[in-house]
Chains A and B, each alone.
Chain A
């Protein structure tokens, strides 16, 4: 019964969507001067129906309605309520419904908040957004309907993959989706602005908010996924260049570039076509991310089901949207305002352009590394993987000039500035950074020149940002975000050169010595929790007289039968001590891995700082 409500509301959505496409198309053809009242009404109906259908599914999950096949496949009566709810989007069908919900919700918000904008622009944005919504609706209804019935009704569900039963992972997908889907509004709006010849500084300040929303949510979404992989998968690091991670990083690079270029468009009214190209690319990357993850091409924890028809659908739809965008772009080239602005080599514009170039470079590296294995497999059936060394080798050296320009960029004035005003403080910063870095790197066994340079320019950026906080003129959000980035770089670097690791196979009572530390495996206990049993290990680490106790867990879930291990991490502001253990076979030996990770917590904090800068900018704290 309740399934029917969900399914029918989706059909109503489909109907509304087709209506809105026709309506907005006709309205834009007629150059209507006023927005028809029916737009508001129909958009509200669509939003309401999507919300209804989404909550129907949530309801089915909460009350374990196993007549619904999605619930049956992904839930269980014994699961805690929180994970019953998060189970709604912990599967393919439900996550797409969430996509749809955010799509319609954002369109509605866009419609309500864009009253000051050109009428035809608003209508065309609705048109493009509705095309995307229609595509997703067809996709959901015909390949991944979350409201299919199962008969006879089973008594018990199959359960949610236990490694997804985690607070960070319960909110990671919604945040990431808000980021991804936010780019759809940017896409629709830039196409609409292109057709209505309104790609200008007014449009820039209007669309900037949407870029900020997507960017903030995408950043925090990636962060949560990363934290989760750190403690739950026991990977013990923050980034692994796993294809699925890369797929979320690519739109992030693009959005970051867009976030910078839109500022130029807003202040100087240049970079029109570049901004539009970036908008189109960002959305295409978000869509292809969905395609790669959902189609089962990338095999990973995110792959819910391997159904080729789904992949083919998204790929076709993506191609259609990209072709449409390219077509519109080329036929409206002349619509860009012909305002030639004099620009000089030494100017804020150039520095932002440099930022964009670097972003495009990082993006291409990640794109090649992620797509090449897929490409090669299709061409000659060879199976390969591209590991971290590839990315490190190509990205890390370029960070040196990137950091340098990032330190200088915000100090340069718009339009024209002089190189000569290179003042004493800059030279002092550079020397100071170099000296500090030299002594840091001195006692480590890394590539001296390279690490020293990286450290030097990270510190240089850091000092420059700190220094800029004294000045009142420039904007707060930029300073906070750039401060976040400099701390991010420094903590990664410290983490990289000072991390220590040791792994061994141990039995209860064993004692191992390494790096002046002594690790004792004291005991192992069996305990039970609501929906799993656990083995709790007790370890004692003696680090030069400092004692740390660890209680890592191995959890054995029964529905579905899965073993997960929970790392025990003792975090301080200076370093993380990480211990995870796993069972190899039942002969008393446990595989124990200990890691010492300096400044780990600062990696997370710095990303939050970066996002906080975005939040400041969104609430216009700069303009006071």
Chain B
């Protein structure tokens, strides 16, 4: 019969393969669930169906659109073609300003309304999220 060494090797190889397959499966599965897509207001306007998944919307904060209450914040993201209303309660980053680039992450209520969970803004004055830049150029 096979020696002990061969058996241990075989066991080892099987172990490596099963764990590799298992891990690949886990990773792919987890990716599917946790990937967040980026869309511009125009992309959202063209959606056939409102998904219940979390998305990111990027564009410019429309001038004079920010409304502040104690707990909530309401503003409009525009790509100069289409607009979307965003509501948010929580902390905003430093450079969240009217007329500047912004990315909001959250859930769509309908094509014109996003309930945001997180607001991201650029790190410095000259920086514009690449998504926003492209969305701008695309229009």
Contacts and interface: CB of A to CB of B under 8 A. Distances in A.
Interface in A298-318: 299-301
A517 B33 CA distance: 37
Given A365-B27, A393-B30, A505-B69, A582 B36 contact: no
Interface stretch (B44-52, B77-85, B86-94, B107-115): B86-94
Contacts of A372: 31, 35
A169 to B, nearest CB: 13
A78 B27 CA distance: 50
Nearest to B127: A299
Given A234-B94, A386-B31, A390-B34, A585 B66 contact: yes
A565 B94 contact: yes
Given A364-B23, A386-B35, A390-B30, A301 B123 contact: yes
B73 interface: yes
A394 interface: yes
B124 A562 contact: yes
Contacts of A361: 23
B105 to A, nearest CB: 8
Interface residues of B, number: 39
Contacts of A584: 66, 68, 73, 92, 96-97
Nearest to A236: B91
Q: Which of B33, B96, B123 has the most CB of A within 10 A?
A: B123
B22 to A, nearest CB: 11
A387 interface: yes
A37 to B, nearest CB: 50
Contacts of B56: 385
Interface string B12-39: 0000000100010011001101111110
Contacts of B137: none
B123 to A, nearest CB: 4
Interface string A542-571: 000000000000000000111111000000
Interface in A241-280: none
Nearest to A344: B8
A441 to B, nearest CB: 24
B95 interface: yes
A441 B68 CA distance: 38
B31 A161 contact: no
A585 B68 CA distance: 9
Given A299-B130, A364-B27, A503 B89 contact: yes
Contacts of A364: 23, 27
A372 B127 CA distance: 23
A200 to B, nearest CB: 23
Interface string B60-84: 0000001011111100000000000
Contacts of A505: 68-73
A564 B94 contact: yes
Contacts of A299: 127, 129-130
Contact of B37 (A384, A503, A563): A384
B129 A585 contact: no
B63 to A, nearest CB: 10
Contacts of B125: 560-562
B25 to A, nearest CB: 11
A400 interface: no
B18 to A, nearest CB: 13
A115 B30 CA distance: 51
Nearest to B123: A301
A383 interface: yes
A152 interface: no
B135 to A, nearest CB: 10
Interface stretch (A49-57, A60-68, A423-431, A587-595): A587-595
Contacts of B37: 382-384
A334 B97 CA distance: 63
B30 A587 contact: no
Nearest to B131: A383
B7 to A, nearest CB: 12
Contacts of B98: 585
Given A386-B36, A593-B91, A163 B124 contact: yes
Q: Which of B33, B36, B95 has the most CB of A within 10 A?
A: B36
A504 interface: yes
Given A390-B34, A584-B66, A591 B92 contact: yes
A161 B94 CA distance: 14
Given A299-B127, A361-B23, A383 B93 contact: no
B36 A387 contact: yes
A509 interface: no
B89 A384 contact: no
Contacts of B129: 299
Contacts of A493: none
Given A233-B123, A234-B94, A390-B33, 7 more contacts: A234-B91, A382-B37, A383-B131, A385-B36, A386-B35, A505-B70, A584-B66
5 contacts: A233-B123, A383-B37, A584-B73, A584-B92, A589-B68
5 A-B pairs with least C-beta separation: A593-B91, A383-B38, A390-B34, A503-B91, A301-B123
